[in-house]
Amino acid sequence: MAAPSADVDRLRRELRADPGSMRWVPLADALRRTGELAEAEQLLQRGLAAHPGLRSAMLVLARVAVEQGDTARALPLLDELYPRDRENIPLVQLYVPQLVAAGRLTEAEAVIDAASFSGLPSELLDELRAQLPVTLGPEAMDEVLQSLPGSSLEPMTDLFAVPRVERRVADRRRGVRRLRADGSGPFTAPRSPEAARARAAALRAWLHAVEGAG
């Protein structure tokens, strides 16, 4: 854990000297930046109890939740803040990856589109777009399908006699995200033909192992 910064010490003194001031917001943010997340959250919760809806404090609290890995707690705060402050660049930068993490891809794309009309620098827009899962076009996806074992010999509906492959590809074209069978994360399309071939090779090995076990 990082040592308290000079900012933390200074802000603590200022808040002690004037307990009614709003210095608790920058103090909480300074605590967050030094890794004192629990103390920052307690300070913010107390402050927001006295000043409900204070946007600056809500944004810092959302940052604390994100840094704690708690998207479910961060998103309601960001959902409330965004309509009130759509041109706030730090808010947009924080909001988009949380929407993506929650699988709310259409909303993430809408936030990015809105940001493109609000003067957001192109390099920041590129960073936001890079948060979105890669979607392959039909031709690239067809190459993935052709690389799957059995696809050249059987109709797609009979591939492995497992329609999940077809459903996942159709979902991908519609932008639907599904969890892998082990629940570890969303199904994503390969980013390149090389990645597609590597995935196909892994799938062939899995198929041979299943057939051998049978």
Within a domain: 76: no
Say which range, 26-40, 59-73, 135-149, has the weakest mean pLDDT. 135-149
Q: Are 28 and 40 in contact (CB under 8 A)?
A: yes
Within a domain: 75: no
Pair 142, 209 in one domain: yes
How many domains does the chain fold into?
A: 3
Q: What is the mean pLDDT of residues 145-152?
A: 47
Residue bearing tokens 């706030």: 88
Within a domain: 73: no
> pLDDT value at position 120?
83
Q: What is the mean pLDDT of residues 67-91?
A: 95
Q: Name the 3-class secondary structure at 24.
A: helix
Which domain range does residue 60 map to? 1-68
Mean of pLDDT over the chain: 77
Residue scoring higher pLDDT (27 or 171): 27
> pLDDT value at position 178?
41
In angstroms, rounded to a whole number, what is the distance separating the alpha carbons of residues 68 and 173? Answer: 33
Pair 156, 205 in one domain: yes
Pair 8, 64 in one domain: yes
Pair 160, 95 in one domain: no
Within a domain: 149: yes
Residue 195 reports pLDDT greater than 70: no
Q: Name the 3-class secondary structure at 186.
A: strand
Within a domain: 177: yes
- Angle (CA) 113-82-108 rounded to 5° is 40
Tokens linked to 184: 């570890």
pTM reported for the whole predicted model? 0.62
Q: Are 187 and 178 in contact (CB under 8 A)?
A: yes
The dihedrals phi and psi of 186, each to the nearest 5 degrees, come to -75, 150
Mark which of 132, 150, 165 sits at the end of a domain: 132
